[in-house]
Amino acid sequence: MNYRHAYHAGNFADVIKHAVLALVLDHLRKKETPFCVVDTHAGVGCYDLQGVEAEKTGEFAEGIARLLAGPPLPPSLDGYLMAVRKANPDWPRLRFYPGSPCIARALLRPHDRLALVELHPDDAQALKRAFAHDPQVGVHANDAYAALKALLPPKERRGLVLIDPPFEAKDEFQRIARGLAQALRRWPTGIYGIWYPIKAPESVAPFLGEIAALGFPCLTAELFRTPPDDPLRLNGSGFLLVNPPWKLDEALAGLLPVLADRLGATGTCGVRWLRQAA
């Protein structure tokens, strides 16, 4: 599977992923102490929905555009929607879609910090240009999993690591599991969020089981836009959280049905604990 960000910016999977990301950051903001966000597959930061890649697929029409059409959304989406508005100078005209770097940056407070990791040289340069004069943001042109060794634990000792690969490598699930195990040894109290695509649930079950076996509290939030009856189609989107904030499961359980309804999902959605805290 190739999930290069630019081609799928603002699609249903992005909406789910970034809504959950913003909700986690909302929880981190509830305490006064600073936090750090490490984004391991940062992309270019923001995407032009009239660009060649986005227009080629047009997937944002069934994602962010559909979410925004209709009555007001619940407060649990305020942080996410604020980041989308901030990325669009001509709001309410939707022209740009903020990737995870821009969403995280929009939700930082003055004493928080963001570390962006991107291996693709052109994308890394685009990030450096975008955040060149921002003292709260550091850009690292490096392999995601190698960078975690250098960046963890952060000096703040509180925060989130977002792992959102393009799933171009056939062994991506195995790479995530190895990288996460190493990261948890360096920073066992950090929150880790991993986005993953779902074609068939049985294809992701071994990965989820491997993460649960690491021994840390972890849960998944999954939404199927279509029933998983076609293993060649991207049917669903999942977000795995290790060391999730307190009561985040309840917030997610309330949020997913709202997203499913607005996105016109015909599949199921739900939150499931893989391993609860002792």
User: Which contiguous run of DSSP H or E holds residue 148?
Assistant: helix 144-151
DSSP 3-state assignment of 225?
coil
Provide the annotated active-site residues: 164
User: Could you name the CATH architecture of 5-219+228-275?
Assistant: 3-Layer(aba) Sandwich (3.40)
Structure confidence at residue 26 (pLDDT): 97
240: closest CA among 214, 269, 272, 264?
272
Spell out where the chain has E strands.
Answer: 36-39, 46-48, 96-98, 113-117, 137-140, 159-163, 191-198, 218-224, 236-242, 269-275
On whether the CB atoms of residues 180 and 194 are closer than 8 A, the answer is yes
Q: Look up the pTM and report it.
A: 0.96
The b-or-e profile of 1-10 (16+ CB within 10 A means b, else e) is eebebbbbbb
- Calpha distance 24→92 (Å, rounded): 25
Structure confidence at residue 8 (pLDDT): 86
- Calpha distance 220→72 (Å, rounded): 26
| Domain edges within the chain | 5-219+228-275
Apex 243 CA angle, 237 and 244, nearest 5 = 55
Structure confidence at residue 4 (pLDDT): 59
pLDDT tens, position by position, for the chain (278 residues)? Answer: 445 577 789 999 999 999 999 999 999 999 999 999 999 999 999 999 998 788 788 899 999 999 999 899 999 999 999 999 999 999 999 999 999 999 999 999 999 999 999 999 999 999 999 999 999 999 999 999 999 999 999 999 999 999 999 888 889 999 999 999 999 999 999 999 999 999 999 999 999 999 999 999 999 999 999 999 998 899 999 999 999 999 999 999 999 999 999 999 999 999 999 999 87
Structure confidence at residue 153 (pLDDT): 97
Angle between helical axes of 172-186 and 144-151 (0-180°, round to 10): 0
98: closest CA among 87, 109, 108, 82?
87
Helix, strand, coil shares of the chain, percent, nearest 5, are 40, 20, 40
